[in-house]
Amino acid sequence: MKVLGLVSSPRRLGNSELAVREILRCLPDEWEKRMIRLSDMNLIACKACYSCLAREDKSCILKDDMDFILRHMLRADKIVIAAPCYILGAHIGVQRLIDRLMPITENSLRFADKQCALVISYGLPGWEGLAREEMLKIPHIFGMEFAGAVTLEATLPGDSIRGRNLRRLQSLAEVLAERRPAETQESEEGVLLCPYCRSRLLTIKPDRTWRCVLCDVNGLVAVGEEGLALEKNPLCENRFSAERRIAHERRLQEAKQQFIERRAEIKLLQEDYADGDWLRPPGT
Ligand SMILES: Cc1cc2nc3c(=O)[nH]c(=O)nc-3n(C[C@H](O)[C@H](O)[C@H](O)COP(=O)(O)O)c2cc1C
C-alpha cells in the first residue's frame, strides 16, 4: 500500500505535520509513506479561464505544481490531508488546491479506489469555524472513500499529538489500516451530521426539513425520545453522485455555449461599467 500525507501548514513540525506523521507511523511498516508540504508547492490561483471545460482531457492550462500533486495522489492508495484553521476557515494551501479541482470533477473515477482521511487543527476552543467543512469537500469532489475527519484543539505546537488528540489520530489510522470500519470513527462531539457526507453545515427550516449545504442531500428532522435525528429523503441524490456529476458537466457545457453566443452582448454590458480609477500601490 502507498500512503500520501498532504500537509497544508507553513509551520515545520507544527500540529498538522505532527498529526500526519503520527498517522503514518501507526500504519504498517511495509507500506510506502510519502509527504507533500503544500506550502512548498507553487500552486497558482485559478484564473477562471474555463479552458478546462473546452479541453478533451479536461486538464488545466496553468503550469505549476498541481500536476505533481495530482500524480502523487493518483499513485497513492490512502491520502491523509491536514490543515490548520486560519481565521475560521481552512488554510489557503488546501483552498488553492480545492479551487483547482474543476477539471477533476469529471475525472473523479480515477480516484474512486482511494481512501481519504482529514485532520484539522485549531487553536482556541470554539474557534474551529468552517475549516472542517471546507476540507470535507476534498474527498467528495475527488470521489474518494471518506475514512473520517478529526478536528483537534491544538493551541501550541505538539498539542495535536497529545492526550485525547493522539488517541483520535490513532483511531483514524486504524480505519486507514483497515483494522476498523470507517463507520466506527468517532463522531464530532455528538453533533448532528449529514448522514451522507458527514458535514455539520445544514440549513434547517421551520417545517423541519433540512438540507446539507455541501452535498445537497435533504430530509426531515425527526423528533424522538433520544432527541433530534436527521432522516434522509430516500429520493434525493447527492451532488457528487455519478448522475449528478454528468448533469453538472452538461450544465457547464451549456453555460460555455451561451457565453460564446452572447459574448458580444456581455462585452457591451461590461464596457458600460469600465470607467473608474483603480487604486494601486506606488510603482506598480
Ligand atoms: C493566521 C492565523 C489564523 C488563525 N486562525 C485561527 C482561528 O480562526 N481559529 C482557531 O481556533 N485557531 C486559529 N489559528 C491557530 C491555528 O489554527 C492552530 O495554532 C493550529 O494548531 C496550527 O496548526 P499548524 O501548527 O499545523 O500550523 C490561527 C493561526 C494563524 C497563524
Instruction: For residue 42, tell me if it sits in a domain.
Output: yes
Domain count, the chain: 1
Set of cell numbers at residue 236:
434525493
Is position 194 within any domain? no
Q: Whose CA is nearest to atom 12 of ligand 1?
A: 123
**What are the pLDDT digits (tens) for 178-234?**
988 887 766 667 889 999 999 999 999 999 999 999 999 999 999 998 899 999 999
Would 124 be classed as within a structural domain? yes
State the CATH number of the domain containing residue 68.
3.40.50.360
In a domain, 19, yes or no: yes
Q: Can you give the residue range of the structural domain that contains 73?
A: 2-186
For 21-48, how does the pLDDT look when each residue is reduced to its tens digit (9 = 90+)?
A: 999 999 999 999 999 999 999 999 999 9
How remote is the CA of residue 81 from the centroid of ligand 1, in Å? 16
13 touches ligand 1 (CB under 6 Å): no
* Per-residue pLDDT reduced to its tens digit, 69-94: 999 999 999 999 999 999 999 999 99
Determine the Cα–Cα distance for residues 31 and 34; give it in Å rounded to an integer. Answer: 10
Ligand 1 within 6 A of CB of 11 = yes
Length of the chain as a residue count: 284
Q: Let me know if residue 29 belongs to a domain.
A: yes
268 lines ligand 1 (CB under 6 A): no
Q: For residue 72, is it within any domain?
A: yes
Calculate the average pLDDT of the chain: 93
In a domain, 49, yes or no: yes
- The pLDDT confidence band at residue 173, using thresholds 50, 70 and 90, is very high
For 18-77, strand residue ranges (E) read: 32-37
Residue at 118 is within a domain = yes
Model confidence at 265: pLDDT above 80: yes
- Pairwise CA distance, residues 175 & 145, whole Å: 11
Q: What is the pLDDT of residues 42-76, one digit of tens each?
A: 999 999 998 888 877 778 899 999 999 999 999 99
Q: Would you place residue 18 in the very low, low, confident or very high pLDDT band (cuts 50, 70, 90)?
A: very high
Place of cell 510519502: 34
Backbone φ and ψ for 152, nearest 5 degrees, come out as: -110, 125
**pTM attached to this predicted model:** 0.94
Model confidence at 107: pLDDT above 70: no
Instruction: Examine the pLDDT at 101 and tell me if it is beyond 90.
Output: no
